[in-house]
Structure formats: C-alpha cells, structure tokens
Structure 1
C-alpha cells in the first residue's frame, strides 16, 4: 500500500503541539499506538481512522490539561493492571484507602483533643446518601487510617445501601 501521512494536533492553534506519522497504514497504526501509549489489545478490530480518532482524543485531553491547569506529565507506567470493579463497593474503597487518589487530603475541621475521631464519626453519622459518604471519605483520608473510623464508615455505607 502507498505511504501515508497522519498529523495529530493537541489543540486548534497553529502553535499547538503536534505529532506527524509517516509510513504504510500498518506502520502508522503501530507508531500511533506506541506514541500515545495505547494498549494494542484494546484497539483490535479498529480501523486506522478510529485509532487516529482515539489518539486525537488523548492528545486533546492532555493538551487541555496542560494549558488549562498548567499540569505536566511526571511519569507514565503501564505495568499495573487496571482497576476492576468489585462486588462490594465498600470493600473496594477500603482496599484503596492506602493508595488514595487524593494524597495529602486536608480535613475540614480539627477533631477534639480528648477524642481525636469524634468529629469524623459525627460527620459519618450525619450523611444521608452514599454519595455524601463517599465524598467525606475522599476529602478526609487522614481520619480513615483508624480502624474504628473505617468500621463506622463501612457500617454507615452498608446501612445507606440497604435503605
């Protein structure tokens, strides 16, 4: 087949970052997937056009994050298996406790000195929905290293789920 050229831009502007791929469709397919860190197994059966569309979405997403939020890529790893849904969302949440996606969370209020977990236990009891409970967990990770707090959070979650 003849040689092709594919250009993927990270944004609309002329000064935006772009990547150019040249070669046969098979070479471009492999190069695009490698360049954007795409898992070839997830792209099986897709046309080159579809792979370029997926790569363009990745490029636009990274470009938007970089320009809008000033973010930079620090490390990309592919050796970890993707997260799989669990039958019990509360068990999955407690398994993620140590590797929370929100490191260094800041607590909203200081706990009382005589009972360091009084505030968080009170907040857990106040929550009326599972979503509110999940948000509390996400915003106050430092409290959930205590087994009693985690047990109270799980119990409240199960009670709300059963209601």
Structure 2
C-alpha cells in the first residue's frame, strides 16, 4: 500500500497549528491516537477517516480554548488516567477503583458505548452532563451516544424549568 498523508489543523487560518502524519494507514492511526492522547479502545472499530474526524474535533476544541480564552496546557499525564485538577470536586470524588471496576465488568465483545451510556443516564444536572461530554469527547462521535446525551440534556432542562 502506498504512503498516505493526513493533516489535522487546529483552526481554519493558515497561521493556525497543523499536525501532519505520513505513512501507512495503520501507522497514521497509531500516530494520531498517540499524538492526541486518545484511548485506542474508544476508537476501536472506527475507520481511519472517523479517527481523523475525532482527532480534528479535539484539535479544534483545544485551538478554540487557546485562542478564545487564552488558555494554556498546564499538565499532561502519561498514565492511563486523565489529569485531574485538585480543585475539581467531581474529579476528586471519582476514584480509580470505580473507573477500573466499571471497565473490568464490561466484556469487550459487548457494546463499547455501554459505559458512557450508563454515565449519561446517571447525571442529574445539565452541568454534570456538559462536564461528561468535555471529559469524554471521543465517545460522542457515535450517533447513539450523542442522541442519548441530547435526550438526557432535554429532560434535565425540563426538570429545571
């Protein structure tokens, strides 16, 4: 197979940051997942095109936060766990045992979105739902997950009204 090139831009302008990946499709896939810190399990079964879309969404989100809000990256971890700010009560409340227990109980052959769908259902406030989306964007490329998230948001807004 011939070499492929994928370019992911952080914005629309020529001056915005670009990330360029070259190689065979399986090499590019692995490079993109590594570069963007994406969990390979959440991308399992997706085409390279879908992985590129998910990575582009991550890049655009980071680019928008950096340009619109002036934010900068302050910590990135190399562990299996995402960085958890100490001032975030939701992050402090979540323990690693709970995260691993949920993942260990779900057989790999079942619905790969079972965990996120369960988490969506547990949310009792719109802000919690928004935080779930922000922390787990890779799951939301699935139409079923996005539909469940939107439906839960509408139901929570109806309760708040």
The alignment's TM-score, normalised by the length of structure 2, stands at 0.51
Alpha-carbon offset, residue 2 of structure 1:
1.0
Structure 2 unaligned spans of 5+? 90-123, 129-161
Paired residue secondary structure (2:5): strand
Q: Indicate how the Cα distance of structure 1 residues 62 and 32 shifts in structure 2: closer, same or farther if over 3 A, else same.
A: same
Give runs of aligned pairs for residues 1-163 of structure 1, distance below 5 A. 1-77=1-77, 79=79, 81=81, 99-101=86-88
Alpha-carbon offset, residue 77 of structure 1:
2.1
Distance 1:80 1:64 in 2: 26
Distance 2:61 2:67 in 1: 10
Paired residue secondary structure (2:16): coil
Distance 1:33 1:70 in 2: 25
Distance 2:36 2:26 in 1: 16
Alpha-carbon offset, residue 101 of structure 1:
1.6
Q: Indicate how the Cα distance of structure 1 residues 19 and 25 shifts in structure 2: closer, same or farther if over 3 A, else same.
A: same
The alignment's TM-score, normalised by the length of structure 1, stands at 0.50
Runs (4 or more) in structure 1 with deviation over 6 Å come to none
Q: Indicate how the Cα distance of structure 1 residues 72 and 23 shifts in structure 2: closer, same or farther if over 3 A, else same.
A: same
Tell me the alpha carbon deviations over residues 26-71 of structure 1, each in whole angstroms, 9 at most, x when there is no partner: 0000000000000111110000000000000000000000000000
Q: Which has the larger radius of gyration?
A: 1
Structure 1 unaligned spans of 5+? 83-98, 103-129, 135-163
